Amino acid sequence: MDIDDRANLSEFDIIARYFSNIGFASPPGNAAVALSVGDDCAILTVPAGQRLALSIDTLVEGRHFPTGADPFAIAERALAVCISDLAAMGAKPLAFTLALTLPAADRVWLDAFSRGLHESANHYLIPLVGGDICAGPLSITIQVHGALPANAGLLRRGAVPGDLIFVTGKLGDAAAALDMLQGRLQADYAQQQYLNSRFYRPDARVVLGQALLDVASAAIDVSDGLLADLGHILSASHVAAKIFSEQLPISSTLAAVAGREQVVDYALRGGDDYELCFTAGAQHRQQLVEYAELFDVPIAEIGEIKPGMGVSCIGDNGDELNTEHRGFQHFQ
């Protein structure tokens, strides 16, 4: 569509120009889409024998990302954060919808945002099939639709005493990135680049998540901090956990920018990493080593499920750490 660059953009211009063809570069993602952007509803075909898994997330400027942040990066992050819930469920991405509240129809912003969304949508093989746009303070809501084999799904309940506890990737980087962006943590240029990318480009573990359907007894993605999110598995499963600070996976960058105590704190309490935390019986250990290799995702064993309630964390020196003050919560 050709729109005069000096004219004001209408809602329909914005949809046609920036949001009509997102994520369709990736053929496998298109199979489920019977009807996309432009009608009253989108229509999806759920693969035979499968069920729909749905999840929605809102990101608000100044709360979930810094005011004035790069729109390309915001878009990538918004979609990855939402896809991470599909990963934590073991679901395969099918399609997503987008509700945007925008302070203004700013072409430069919209252009970068839609390019970021396109990049991320093609990466995760998930097309944009509909949405809504209205005026107001910047906020981005994405709903993802995924497919799960009937009767399968990585729930939070299901962990039993004796299961091992695993996390993917590295923990604490995203929280350190936020501290750095807000001037509370010093880092050199290369460290800043790494930490920034860990905050803005979380790697939603969708392929591994689907493989874990046959292996994990419970799973969650780490959005609010390991203690908080592991805590959800524990309360849903009615069990306790014992974890070891020495086994927490830490990036060399994080280890270099902060003292050990603060590093452990970032890993235990820092949110926004969007790694998976899951439990599995010890008989699956070798399988997980193979998955880590096959899917190129580090998987660290950090502890064990016990009978009882709550998390105990053994520090580097063998003493138990305080595990109070868990993660971020709204309305507190």
Binding site for Mg ion (CB under 5 A): 132
Report which of 239, 87, 62 is spatially closest to residue 138, judged by C-alpha positions: 62
Query: DSSP letters of 256-275?
Result: HHS-HHHHHHHHHH------
Which CB sits closer to ligand ADP, 136 or 318?
Answer: 136
CB of 9 to Mg ion, least distance (A): 16
316 contact, one of Mg ion, ligand ADP, none, CB 5-8 Å limit per kind: none
19 contact, one of ligand ADP, Mg ion, none, CB 5-8 Å limit per kind: ligand ADP
38 contact, one of ligand ADP, Mg ion, none, CB 5-8 Å limit per kind: ligand ADP
- Gap between the Cα atoms of 242 and 265, Å rounded: 16
Q: Which of 116, 130, 202, 249 binds ligand ADP (CB under 6 A)?
A: 130
218 binds ligand ADP (CB under 6 A): no
- Return the amino acid letter for 126: I
- Return the amino acid letter for 80: A
Task: Report the site for ligand ADP in 12-41 (rule: CB under 6 A).
Answer: 15, 19, 37-40
Strands 240-244, 320-321: pairing is: unpaired
CB of 329 to ligand ADP, least distance (A): 29
Q: Are 294 and 229 in contact (CB under 8 A)?
A: no
CB of 16 to ligand ADP, least distance (A): 9
Q: Which stretch binds ligand ADP (CB under 6 A): 131-139, 163-171, 236-244, 274-282?
A: 131-139
121 binds ligand ADP (CB under 6 A): no
- The rounded radius of gyration (Å) of the Cα atoms in the chain is 20
Q: How does 305-330 read in b/e, with b if 16+ C-beta sit within 10 Å?
A: bbeeeebebbeeeeeebebeebbeee
Residue 79 makes CB contacts below 8 A (sequence gap 6+) with 96, 117, 120, 121, 124, 126, 142
320 contact, one of ligand ADP, Mg ion, none, CB 5-8 Å limit per kind: none
Query: 3-class DSSP state for residue 177?
Result: helix
Q: Which stretch binds ligand ADP (CB under 6 A): 126-134, 181-189, 217-225, 233-241?
A: 126-134
Q: Which residues bind ligand ADP (CB under 6 A)?
A: 15, 19, 37-40, 98, 100, 128, 130-133
